Every structure is written in C-alpha cells, then in structure tokens.
Amino acid sequence: MAISEAIARTRREIAELRDEQSAGRTRDELHAVVQGTEHATNTILTASETVDALAGGIARRSGDDATRDDALAIQAQMQTIFEACNFQDLTGQRISKVVRTIVLVEERVDEMLRVWSGPASAVAAAKPDRRTGEDALLNGPTLPGDASVSQDTVDAMFP
C-alpha cells in the first residue's frame, strides 16, 4: 500500500513539474540566452575593435607624449575587453551541456509517465493549472515563434 501511494504521489509530482516548466520551454529559454549573449558579445567586440583602431590612429598621429600614452593605455584596456568577451564561447558550451541534460531528463520523465499512466500528455492534460494571482499571468519573456500578442499589437489598441 505504501509503495502504491509513493508511486501515485511521485506520478503527480512529476506531472506538476512538467506542467510548471516543460523541458522544451527551458531548452528554448537557454537557447535564447545563448543567442542573446552571442549578439551582445558581437556588439561589444565590434565597438571595441573600432575604439582600438581609433586609439591606434591617435597614438600614431600624436606628437604629444601624454596623448600617445593615453591612446596606448586605451588600447591596453581594449585588449582586456577582448579577453573578457571570450566568456561567451565558454558560456555557450556550458549551457549546451545543461540543455543536453535537460533533454535526457525529459526523455526519462516521459518514459516514466508513459509506463505509469499511458501517454505523458494525458497525465499533463489531466492536471489543472494551480497557479493563482500574478503567478497565473506570468510566463516570462516570449521567445521567437511563441504564439503571443506582440507589443505593436497592444500599442495599436490604445489611441
């Protein structure tokens, strides 16, 4: 009896976890983080390369030692920015590992739900959304391709 109750409780908990945040949504969120970080890093690197080139030009053209030293100091700081931007590649690799783990866990949960209750979607569909208040309204930022209303559509509703 205790084992049966534990299995039933675990089944409900897994279904609730799946409903609260599906692995597919989590995977998409992490992918959006990687893309956003990559875009920001590229923007930073492009601006840094421009500043570095401008500082190099100032250093070459300047007849004043103080101005040349300042331009060279700017270039040294730009190198620090270039080095710091290497984090994006490492971050992307780490997030990819997390995504692979999430996919593996999702596959195992789907298999457990299938074995215990039939199709996973039947268990998830049977569970009502228990969120209330603001929690029921908040789902985080939309991802590309989400079926949601755009800000432009909302703005057009108000004259």
Tell me the pLDDT tens digit for each residue of 123-155.
444 455 566 666 655 566 666 666 555 666 656
Is a pLDDT exceeding 50 seen at residue 157? yes
pLDDT band at 88; cut points 50, 70, 90: confident
Tally of CB atoms within 10 A around 93: 10
Cβ neighbours of residue 61 under 8 Å, at least 6 residues apart?
none
Average the pLDDT over 88-98 and give the result: 82
Mean pLDDT computed over 37-54: 92
User: Coil, strand or helix: which one is 8?
Assistant: helix
Instruction: Write down the pLDDT at residue 152.
Output: 66
Burial code (b: 16+ CB inside 10 Å, e: under 16) for 122-157 equals ebbeeeeeeeeeeeeeeeeeeeeeeeeeeeeeeeee
Question: Cα–Cα distance between 45 and 39 in angstroms, integer?
Answer: 10
pLDDT digits (tens, 9 = 90+) for 20-42: 556 577 778 888 888 888 888 88
* pTM for this model (two decimals): 0.54
Return d(Cα 19, Cα 13) in angstroms, integer.
10
- Mean of per-residue pLDDT scores for the chain: 77
